[in-house]
Each structure stands twice: as C-alpha cells, then as structure tokens.
Structure 1
C-alpha cells in the first residue's frame, strides 16, 4: 500500500474524530456554563476548551478574552485555528477526496455531504443558543461516518489505517478532556455546591457518552475518582484510554510485520500500563501527571506511525 494513500486515510479519520471531540468539549462546556456556580467566572469556564486543544497562544493572539462567543467561534468556525471543527472537517474532506478510490463510494458521499451541509450551516450563522444542536449534528455525522466505514469498507490495510487514526486521536482527546475538566471540577466541600458539582460531573460523563455506562458499572452517586477510572482503565468503556489501546494495539500488530517495530513496542508499552494499571497507583503519582505523561507517550506513538508508514510529519 502506498504511504501517500495510508497518510490520507489515517488523517481523514483523525480529523473527523477531532471534529467530534471538539464538538463534545464545546457541548459540555456550554452546558456547564448554564449551571449557576459562583466558584467559576467566565474565563474559568471557557478557557479549558482552548487548553484541551492546546491553542492558548493562537487564541490570545486573535481574541480579547475567554468569553462564550469568542471560544465558540474559535473552536467551531475559525478557519485560522487548525483544531476548529470547520478546519478539521475541511481537512478530512480534502484527504478523502485525494483517495476516493481507496474507500467505498458510500464513505466518500458521507464525508462530502458532511462538508457541504457544514458550509450551509456556516452561511446561516451560528450563535450561542444554537451550539448544542450544532454539536449534536457534528457528533451524529461522525457516528454516521464510522457506521458507513464499518458497514462498507473492505477489511484490508486501508481499513486498518482508518481505524488506527480514529483511536490515536480519540485517546489523545479523552486524556486532554479528563485532565482539563478534572482540575476544574475538583470535589467541592461546601454543602450548598454539592448539587451543582453532581450536575457538572454528569455533564462531563455525557460529553463522552459515558453517563449511562457509569450508572451501570458503579450503581452509585457520581464520584470523581470513579469517573477517572471509567475513562482511563475500563476496557469496556468505548472512549476510555484502555479501550482505545485495546483497538489500536492489534491493528499495529498486523501492520508491523515487516516494518514499524518501534510503533509496536510503543503501543505495547502504553497498552500494558493501562491493562495492568491501578487507580490507586495513578492517584499516588497524580492524575494530572499521569495524563500528561500519557498524552506525551501517545503523541510519540503518533509521530512514529507517521515516520514509519506515512508521508513524514503532518
């Protein structure tokens, strides 16, 4: 398989996953902003999405403050921001167009229709009141793309690179979201804020489609350390770090039979840390420190995949 083709497929999947995750972050941030809590001002509420995307410098260069309107525009519609939803979906469409023959016609039609509908929505305008509906639309179209991919694509190397891109990106975004929100939503001790704290943690769980899963697994009130366990170590939670590596490690085993052995080693090391890890040990080190280390390791793996199989740095 040509590295150029693999590169386009891999990044097409990463960009669609990135757009979905940005939509999830914006959605949960907006919903949390509707909950009255004197502990957080507007900057404290709206800065985390920019931190998650690692775009603080670019945001502060172009915007005067962390207001809802500024962050929503920056994260959703600003084409100067490579992590914005419009930029990610535009890049996904360009990558898909370059390798139309390597995917099913239904996949291309799904990606192209997504882009055309997005342009129409942009022309109509997006205000703060519409953000939840817009984010739901982005998530549903991402789900549609994955369903079409699963249902129509031949299980060859092309399919493997699409899946690989999705899970590398998802692991990165789950770690960033949990890290940013966990620091913001440290357990409150004031009784009058306990109810607010519950709604904010439930919003975080809903942002990764994990609220019902939490209820089934723990059958208890929402506790921060259990949220962390669900999103880090539970292999039956689809967006957890462990679940992502359960998927991508076997893919790399199949792709690395002749080259890319360092990719396989890095993925195996990360997978083992999640498979055999314990939350008690993670909290001893510090959840923030653990997640920052994971993000770094995941980025190193992504860079090695790029070097070994694709067209160099993206």
Structure 2
C-alpha cells in the first residue's frame, strides 16, 4: 500500500472517532451544566485538547462560545465539523479502497452538517444535534465492520480509530482525575462519576461488571484495566498492537519502533495493578500515558507514512 493511502485511511479513522468523542464530551457538559459547578465547559476544552486555541480566540469560557468552538469554528481543527470535513477529504483520496456504504454514509453526514448554523446546536437543540453526530459515526463504523474487505485498508482505518479512542479515554480520565479520589459521596460527586462513565458510554457496563454503586476506584479500574470494555485503555492499546501485528504479517514480517512501543504499552497495561497506579498518582500516570500514546502515533506515521 502506498504511504499516502495508508495516511488517508489512518486519519480517516482518527477524525471520525474524534468527532464522536467531542460530541460525547459536549453532551456530558450540557447535562452537568445544571449542577452549577461551572467547570464542565472548561473541562471539555481541556479533554479535547482545544483549550489553548479557544482561550487565544475567546479569552473567557462561556457555554455558547465553547459549543460553537467545538462544533463549527473553522479555526478549530478538532471541532466536529472540521473533523467531518477532514474525514471526507481523506475518504475522497482513497475512495476506491472504501465500500459504497462507507462513502455514502460519510458523504451524507457531511451534507447534513456542513451548513449547520448556531440555531441548530445551541440551547435545548444541542443534545439532538450531538446524538445525530454519534449516530452518523456509528453508521460509518458499522459500514466498515460489515462491508469492508479485511485487508490493509481496513486495518489502517481500525488502527486510527483505536489509537484515537485510547487517547480520548486517557484525556477524559486525566481531566477528571480529581473526581476519582476518595471524598464525599454527595449528589454532585455522584453525578460527576456518572458523567465520566457516560462520556465513554460505559455506565451500564459498570453496573454489569461490578454490580454495585459507583465507586471512584472501580471507575478508574474499568476505564484503564478491564479488557471487556471496548474503550478501556487496555482494550484500545491491545487492539492497536493486534492490528499492527496483522499489518506486519501481511507485509512479510516488516516491523519497526511502533511495534515495539505498542507491545510495551499493551504489556504494561495488561500486567499493572490499579493500586500501583493510584499510589504513584493517577494524574501523573495518565499524563505519561497520554504522552506515550502520542509517541506511538508518531512512530506509526514515521514507519508507515513517512517511510522510516
């Protein structure tokens, strides 16, 4: 596969996943806004990596400004509309590698969202808009799973999706790490714990696995170490390692630094204990994980896209 084709497929997976992740975060911020903590809109900016760009442009955090910046502002490359535009651009460059269902789903999504005005996603209309975003990404992912040949094209889309998902889970946990330490069990804290799980669609999964009330340490365990949860760090990085290995086998065993680094990260997640993570500091551990995930993404691009 040509490196530019691999690049487009890899980023197609990343951008579609990023659009859904931003939508999930905004939905949670909107739901928690009524609690009056005044922090959720700032937290979603940090979790999405958009805080510096937002503060440079707006200077002050308001719900309306945050929503507009994370949905349609063309200056924000990680905004929902920017992600759909970038995903469609990458898809056009590799259209013959995609199925009709994948291209149609993505093209229809862009047609739906590109002319959105603030009236379409501000105030009480925001949850409906965000639900449509998530549905369109689920449609695209479902089309890929159901219709795409299990060749290199499929694997590079999967690689981008899994890596982006790992980065998002780590960022959500990091920006809310203070909520996962022992403290009071009041209504606000309970709602915040629910929000963490809802942001990765894991509230029902938590109760299914643990069958008990919400406990901060259990939430951290679920999102970091439980392989049953598709968005846990161990599940995401295990998938990255698995996909990299399949690509390597298909290329006659060709491997590089990204394979070593991915295997190292996955092994550390599979065999570490939550008590060790918490003892060393959850924030410090997550900061390192975010850095290592970014390092892995760079190593993948160096090896497969820039020809390292």
TM-score normalized with structure 2 length: 0.94
Q: How many residues align?
A: 305
- Could you say which residue in structure 1 is the equivalent of 2:233? 241
- Choose which of 81, 87, 90 in structure 1 pairs with 2:85: 90
Within 5 Å, give how 1:158-237 maps onto structure 2: 158-183=153-178, 186-189=181-184, 194-237=186-229
Distance 1:153 1:183 in 2: 42
Q: SS of the residue aligned with 2:76?
A: coil
Query: RMSD across aligned C-alpha pairs, in angstroms?
Result: 1.7
Bigger mean CA deviation after superposition, 265-274 or 112-121: 112-121
Kindly indicate whether the alpha-carbon contact (under 8 Å) linking 1:259 and 1:308 is maintained by their aligned counterparts in 2. no
Kindly indicate whether the alpha-carbon contact (under 8 Å) linking 2:181 and 2:217 is maintained by their aligned counterparts in 1. no
Say if 1:312 and 1:72 are closer, same or farther in 2 by CA, change over 3 A. farther
- Could you say which residue in structure 1 is the equivalent of 2:6? 6
- Choose which of 121, 138, 160 in structure 2 pairs with 1:126: 121
Distance 2:34 2:307 in 1: 43
Distance 1:80 1:28 in 2: 23
- Could you say which residue in structure 2 is the equivalent of 1:112? 107
Distance 2:3 2:239 in 1: 22
- Could you say which residue in structure 2 is the equivalent of 1:55? 50
Distance 2:20 2:28 in 1: 12
Kindly indicate whether the alpha-carbon contact (under 8 Å) linking 1:13 and 1:163 is maintained by their aligned counterparts in 2. yes
Describe the superposition over 1:70-118 as per-residue Cα deviations: whole angstroms up to 9, x where unpaired.
1111111111011111111110000001110011111111110010011
Kindly indicate whether the alpha-carbon contact (under 8 Å) linking 1:76 and 1:84 is maintained by their aligned counterparts in 2. yes
Kindly indicate whether the alpha-carbon contact (under 8 Å) linking 2:68 and 2:118 is maintained by their aligned counterparts in 1. no
Distance 1:132 1:204 in 2: 17
Q: SS of the residue aligned with 1:34?
A: helix
Q: SS of the residue aligned with 2:172?
A: helix
Describe the superposition over 1:253-282 as per-residue Cα deviations: whole angstroms up to 9, x where unpaired.
122344342111000000001100110000
Bigger mean CA deviation after superposition, 128-137 or 298-307: 128-137
Kindly indicate whether the alpha-carbon contact (under 8 Å) linking 1:260 and 1:309 is maintained by their aligned counterparts in 2. no
Q: SS of the residue aligned with 1:259?
A: coil
Say if 1:117 and 1:51 are closer, same or farther in 2 by CA, change over 3 A. same
Bigger mean CA deviation after superposition, 174-183 or 274-283: 174-183
How far residue 57 of structure 1 moved from its aligned partner, in angstroms, is 2.0
Describe the superposition over 1:211-237 as per-residue Cα deviations: whole angstroms up to 9, x where unpaired.
111001111110111101000000000
Distance 2:118 2:170 in 1: 33
- Could you say which residue in structure 1 is the equivalent of 2:291? 296
Give 5+ residue unaligned stretches, structure 2.
Answer: none
Kindly indicate whether the alpha-carbon contact (under 8 Å) linking 2:179 and 2:192 is maintained by their aligned counterparts in 1. no
- Choose which of 304, 309, 313 in structure 1 pairs with 2:304: 309
Give 5+ residue unaligned stretches, structure 1.
Answer: none
Distance 2:55 2:174 in 1: 21
